Structure 1
Amino acid sequence: MKLTVITGSPHKKGTTALLADKFIEGAKEVGHEVVRFDAAFENVKPCLACEYCSIHDGECVHKDTMNELSKQLVETELIVFVTPLYYFGMSAQIKAVIDRFHASNAKIAGNKKAMLLAAAYGADDWTMEGLEKMYESMLRFLAWEDAGKIMATGCPVREVLEQTDYPQQAYEMGKNL
Structure 2
Amino acid sequence: MKIVVLEGSPNRHASSNLLAEEFIRGAKEAGHTAEIIDAAHADLHPCTGCVRCGYEGPCVQKDDMEKFRGQILDADMMVFVTPLYYYGMSAQLKMLVDRFCAINSSITRKHMKSALLAAAWNADSWTFEALEAHYRTLVRYLQMDDQGMVLGKGCGTPSMTAHSRYPQLAYELGRSLT
User: Who is 1:26 aligned against?
Assistant: 26
Matching of residues 17-96 of structure 1 within 5 Å: 17-54=17-54, 57-96=56-95
TM-superposed CA distance for 1:73, in Å, is 1.6
1:37-72 superposed Cα distances (whole Å, 9 cap, x missing partner): 0111111111000112118x4100111111111122
What SS does the aligned partner of 1:149 have? strand
Is 2:88 the partner of 1:112? no
User: Who is 1:172 aligned against?
Assistant: 172
Instruction: Give me the TM-score of the superposition, normalised by structure 2.
Output: 0.95
What SS does the aligned partner of 2:53 have? helix
What SS does the aligned partner of 1:80 have? strand
Distance 1:79 1:61 in 2: 24
Matching of residues 124-139 of structure 1 within 5 Å: 124-139=124-139
TM-superposed CA distance for 1:82, in Å, is 0.5
Distance 1:31 1:64 in 2: 32
Instruction: Give me the TM-score of the superposition, normalised by structure 1.
Output: 0.96
Distance 2:70 2:12 in 1: 25
What SS does the aligned partner of 2:121 have? coil
1:11-54 superposed Cα distances (whole Å, 9 cap, x missing partner): 11110110111111111223211111011111111100011211
Is 2:155 the partner of 1:155? yes
Letter in 1 for 2:149: K
Distance 2:173 2:69 in 1: 25
Of the structure 1 ranges 117-126 and 24-33, higher mean CA displacement relative to structure 2 is found in 24-33
Count residues in correspondence.
176
Instruction: Say what the alpha-carbon RMSD is for the aligned residues.
Output: 1.2
Distance 2:137 2:22 in 1: 26
Consecutive unaligned residues of structure 1, counting only runs of 5 or more, are none
Distance 2:41 2:76 in 1: 24
Consecutive unaligned residues of structure 2, counting only runs of 5 or more, are none
